[in-house]
Chain A
Amino acid sequence: MTAALALIALLTIGTAVAAMSRRSLLNSVLLLAGSWVGIAAFFLWAGAEFAAFAQALIYVGAISMALLFAVLLTRRSREDFAPGPAVRSRALYAMLAGAALAGVLLAAVARGSLAVAPSPVPVVTVRQLGRQLMGPHAASLLVTGVLLTVALIGAVVVAAGGGPEKPEDAP
């Protein structure tokens, strides 16, 4: 089990580090997708099936697509690599922003209570998960659902709108 965790950690962190160090944005996105697969594998390792599949479906399937389209629609040429920082102050600001985020994350990790002794693994079925979401967290679920549905219908309306269509475009 520990060996599997080490492998998963290596995959997750290794691809993330590689993604940060690549100059080509598209390579970074593909490596980042590998890192997300690693996180999904970690959830699977920890016994959180539902979270693992949702992670794979949403991050690997959808968010990677959003990133790819964003990169492809904004770059000017194939060799449009992310340039190094032009002045030293920019690199410094970047370091500061990164350090602030790392500080927040580290503080959160340090404050959380990490059980050293192995605790009994809770068995959570999808049914229980659904009852939790539909019971105590129904309001937030509803708000999220309405937001996403509005976005979806908005996308349909945007796609359906536009000027009068030309007769050449007849289906």
Chain B
Amino acid sequence: MSPAATTNDPLLERAPVILRDWLTAFLPEPARWLANCLIIIVAILAVFGLLFAFLTLAERKILGRVQNRPGPNRTGWCGLLQPFADGIKMLTKEDIVPRAANPVLHFIAPVVILAASILTFAVIPYGRHLLPVELDAAVLYFFAAGAATELAVFTAGWASHNKYALLAAMRALAQLISYELPLLLSVVPVVLATGTLSTSGIVAAQSGWKWGVVPHWVVFTPWGAAAFAIFMVSALAESNRSPFDLPEAESELIAGHLTEFSGFKYALFFMAEYFAMCASSGLAVTLFLGGWHAPLPALEFIPSYVWFAVKFAALLFGFILVRATMPRLRIDQLTRFAWKFLVPLALVNLGTVAFWSLTFQWAGPLQLLRWAVALGLVAGPYVLLGRGLTTGLGTRTYRFA
């Protein structure tokens, strides 16, 4: 919301900025700046807080639909008040701290993990004029702000003074560290191709259309599609979502590093998980799906933040659908998948994008060659590595089942 709105934009496009300026117009200069910042913070917290509440409901409804049952439908109309009932339940539950636990760290862990996930919302451009903080190194900031998550997960497991919680925390760390690597490596090609680390710059680089119909989004290039796929898989794992939800694994393990947490602290961990999912989706929209740009020139009359919301919601729906359809992985399968498949694939993708950038002036039939080589560089390693992932491993035989 910091960039000044130019007056030649349509009214709806500028509406949030106009509303904010109208609210703070009566204040003197330094206080107005502070009030503007506070309004942005309150807006982010309110929007994503409510989104978290209704995302849980939407998830339960969609999961219910997939599993042929109605889902929550008793609280309010169609169960719309269910998140608030859950919130009251969580708030009024007893907060149990084990006697041997480290009370300070036991308290700090959920707070740190939530704070780290909220910080990441600051650099995502939600619309043409809706970028909370304009940073030169925004992509780096996004990952730096999330860096405390791993520390918080470990602290949660260790502060509980429970050997299962500690083991689970180590397992969660192994997962987070393994998937951090392909996540970062899948972002590098976008930075390499657009030549900037700022999120607004990356969105600006994806403006325009080829032949008036195909948008210049990163996902419509061979390396961009591969990076997008790697990013989404790693983001699933980073936010502990199914099929990578084995740190928590509610049906097999107790609750992993969350075993000794109850009441609102437990809710805070879940809030952080959903916030991380939202932040990853927001970054994916920004990096790969053209940010707030409309898919067609004729559709540009719709405000940019609506387009962002549509793409964002589609990715969140994808997250929920994956949870509804995929079985959970085992820890060895999970780490093997990261180190033997995603990381090499992401490394090869760096070479692909380098080739793509070096051949940007190729035209005519050379353009076809460029596409063929890039597609081969994406598909070849995918097929070879995918075969290597399963060679020598026959179908599993269940002897005692």
Give Cα A130 to B344, complex, Å: 25
For window 12-55 of A, CB contacts with B under 8 Å fall at 26, 30, 33, 37, 40, 49-50, 52-54
- With A and B bound together, what is the CA distance between A30 and B105 in angstroms? 10
Mostly, the A contact residues are helix
Contact B339 A57 (CB under 8 A): no
B228-239 CB mask vs A (1 if < 8 Å, else 0) is 000000000000
B147 touching A57 by the CB < 8 A rule? yes
Contact A171 B336 (CB under 8 A): yes
Judge if B6 is at the interface, Cβ distance under 8 Å.
Answer: no
**The stretch of B204-212, B301-309, B390-398 that contacts the partner chain:** B390-398
Question: Is B140 located at the chain interface by the 8 A CB criterion?
Answer: yes
The proximity string for A residues 55-85 relative to B, scoring 1 for CB distances below 8 Å and 0 otherwise, is 0110011101100110010000010000000
| Contact between B155 and A30, CB atoms less than 8 A apart | yes
Contact status of A156 and B397, CB under 8 A, knowing A49-B137, A65-B173 = no
- Selected contact of A60 from candidates B137, B151, B158, B180, CB within 8 Å: B151
The chain A residue with its CB closest to the CB of B338 is A159
When distances are taken between beta carbons in the complex, the residues of chain B under 8 Å from A165 are 392-393
Q: In A146-171, which residues have CB < 8 Å from any B CB? A: 149, 152-153, 155-156, 159-160, 164-165, 167-171
* Contacting residues, chain B, for A167 (C-beta < 8 A): 393-397
Q: What is the CB-to-nearest-CB distance from A85 to chain B, in angstroms, rounded to a whole number?
A: 26
Partner of A155, one of B155, B196, B197, B339: B339
B335 to chain A, nearest CB (A): 7
Does A126 make an interface contact (CB < 8 A)? Answer: yes
Find A68's partner among B136, B154, B337 (CB 8 Å cutoff). Answer: B154
Pair A65/B158 contact, Cβ less than 8 Å: no
Interface residues of B in 227-258 (CB under 8 A from A): none
Complex CA gap A68/B339 in Å reads 21
Q: Mark B173-190, 1 if CB is under 8 A from A, else 0.
A: 100010011000000000
CB neighbours of A152 from chain B (8 A): 181, 343, 347
Kindly identify which residue among A53, A159, A168 contacts B144, using a CB–CB cutoff of 8 Å.
A53
Interface size for A (C-beta < 8 A) is 38
Instruction: Report if B131 contacts A (CB, 8 A).
Output: no
B389 within 8 A of A: yes
Q: How far is the CB of A78 from chain B (nearest CB, A)?
A: 8
**B145 at interface by CB-CB < 8 Å:** yes
A126 and B137 contacting across the interface, CB-CB below 8 Å: yes
B170 contacts partner chain A, Cβ-Cβ < 8 Å: yes
Given A170-B395, A171-B393, decide whether A53 and B339 contact each other with a Cβ distance below 8 A: no
Name A169's contact: one of B137, B181, B332, B337 (CB within 8 Å): B332
Chain B residues with Cβ under 8 A from A57's Cβ?
A: 140, 143-144, 147
Is there a chain A Cβ closer than 8 Å to B333's Cβ?
yes
A156 contacts across to B, CB distance below 8 A: 339-340, 343-344
A159 close to B335 (CB less than 8 A): yes
Interface mask (B315-353 → A, CB under 8 Å = 1, otherwise 0)? 000000000000000001101110110011001000000
Q: Is B13 part of the binding interface, using a Cβ–Cβ cutoff of 8 Å?
A: no
Q: Which residue on A lies nearest to B350, using beta carbons?
A: A149
Which residues in B have their C-beta under 8 angstroms from that of A65? 150-151, 154, 173, 177
Within 8 A of A (CB), among B352-401: 389-390, 392-397
Inter-chain contacts of B390 with A (CB < 8 A): 170-171
Q: Quote the shortest CB–CB distance from B349 to chain A (angstroms).
A: 14
Nearest Cβ on chain B to A164's Cβ, whole angstroms:
6
Within 8 A of A (CB), among B144-181: 144-148, 150-151, 154-155, 158, 161, 170, 173, 177, 180-181
- Identify which of A57, A168, A169 gathers the most chain B CB atoms within 10 Å of its CB: A57
**A125 at the B interface (CB under 8 A):** yes
Which of chain A's residues has its CB closest to B141's CB? A53
- B51 in the interface, Cβ–Cβ < 8 Å? no
Q: Is the beta-carbon distance between B392 and A56 smaller than 8 angstroms?
A: no
Closest to B335 in A: A159
- B150 contact set on A, CB distance < 8 A: 61, 65
**Please, which residues of chain B bring their CB within 8 A of the CB of A54?**
140, 144
Nearest A residue (CB) for B394: A167
CA A164 to CA B147, docked complex, whole Å:
36
Known: A30-B155, A65-B150, A156-B344. A171 touches B137 (CB 8 A): no
Pull 15 A–B residue pairs with CB atoms less than 8 Å apart, ordered by A.
A30-B155, A53-B137, A53-B144, A54-B144, A57-B147, A60-B148, A61-B144, A61-B146, A65-B150, A68-B173, A127-B136, A159-B335, A167-B396, A171-B336, A171-B390
**Shortest beta-carbon contacts, A-B, top 6:** A61-B147, A56-B144, A53-B144, A170-B393, A57-B144, A53-B140
Known: A49-B136, A49-B137, A65-B150. 7 other contacts (CB 8 A): A60-B144, A61-B150, A127-B196, A155-B339, A156-B343, A159-B340, A169-B332
